Amino acid sequence: DQQVKQNSPSLSVQEGRISILNCDYTNSMFDYFLWYKKYPAEGPTFLISISSIKDKNEDGRFTVFLNKSAKHLSLHIVPSQPGDSAVYFCAATPANTGKLIFGQGTTLQVKP
Amino acid sequence: GAGVSQSPSNKVTEKGKDVELRCDPISGHTALYWYRQSLGQGLEFLIYFQGNSAPDKSGLPSDRFSAERTGGSVSTLTIQRTQQEDSAVYLCASSLAPGVRETQYFGPGTRLLVL
């Protein structure tokens, strides 16, 4: 029972263009959402988060959008840079718990 | 300061043997989490320690898995009678305090291969 789904296993974009990574969830109890970035042989690192009371959160080149009615969130990276090439994990968590429920990840490749 | 460290970085074992994986969280972090990532899968929650409260063990896949956290710091994840399906990267994370708004900082993981 995959509660958080990233249906695109990979994405390739040109440097300078926008990268859009998508994530869907099924559990309406989730109220906080996060994106993590992972390089090979390293642990994931926190990128950006959004509370369910918001529909957008922006941090520099990274913006996360939340559509609660569609149970969908997306991560926009603009402009994309080669150093952004990594695996991106979407995660969600229900209220009053710290445990994260992760999607399967999307491998982003940004070509110079 | 030092991040989350895990040891060993790699472990190869034979089916049926027991293994212990160690996690040293960031100093002062009261919450500690274990996850695992099987090949081609996302990260799967295993167990969560929050201060002195009883741990949330809801993600442990079977009773062969157990974890403890001694003195509120170092944690050990033990897998008894390992099976081939236990092969995965086991990741530990810690956060300053429990709760969803606290950023979890991950270690590099232990890559376990069960032959």
Beta partners for residue A76, in sequence order: A20, A63
* Subunit contact A98:B4, Cβ cutoff 8 A: no
- In order along its 115 residues, chain B shows pLDDT tens digits of 589 999 999 999 999 999 999 999 999 999 999 999 998 788 999 999 988 888 999 999 999 999 999 887 899 999 999 999 999 999 999 998 877 678 899 999 999 999 9
Residues B35/B108, Cβ–Cβ less than 8 Å: no
* Subunit contact B100:A97, Cβ cutoff 8 A: yes
In chain B, what is the straight-line distance between the N-terminal and C-terminal CA atoms, in Å? Answer: 37
3-state secondary structure of B72: helix
Please, what is the average pLDDT of chain A? Answer: 94
Find, among A95, A97, A84, the residue nearest to A35 by Cα.
A84
Distance CA A45, CA B103 (A): 9
A27-64 tens-digit pLDDT: 998 999 999 999 998 999 999 999 999 999 999 999 99
Distance CA A24, CA A80 (A): 22
* Subunit contact A44:B91, Cβ cutoff 8 A: yes
pLDDT of residue A97 exceeding 80: no
Check CB contact of A95 with chain B, cutoff 8 Å. yes
Find, among A44, A43, A28, the residue nearest to A90 by Cα.
A44
Spell out which residues of chain B touch residue A42, defining contact as CB-CB under 8 Å: 108
The A residues from 39 to 58 touching B (CB cutoff 8 Å) are 41-46, 49
Check CB contact of B20 with chain A, cutoff 8 Å. no
pLDDT for B86 equals 96
Q: Which residues contact A94 (CB under 8 A, 6 or more apart)?
A: A27, A29, A30, A31
- Tell me how close the Cα of B104 comes to any Cα of chain A, in angstroms: 7
pLDDT for A94 equals 81
Residues A30/A93, Cβ–Cβ less than 8 Å: yes
Find, among B20, B4, B24, the residue nearest to B86 by Cα.
B20
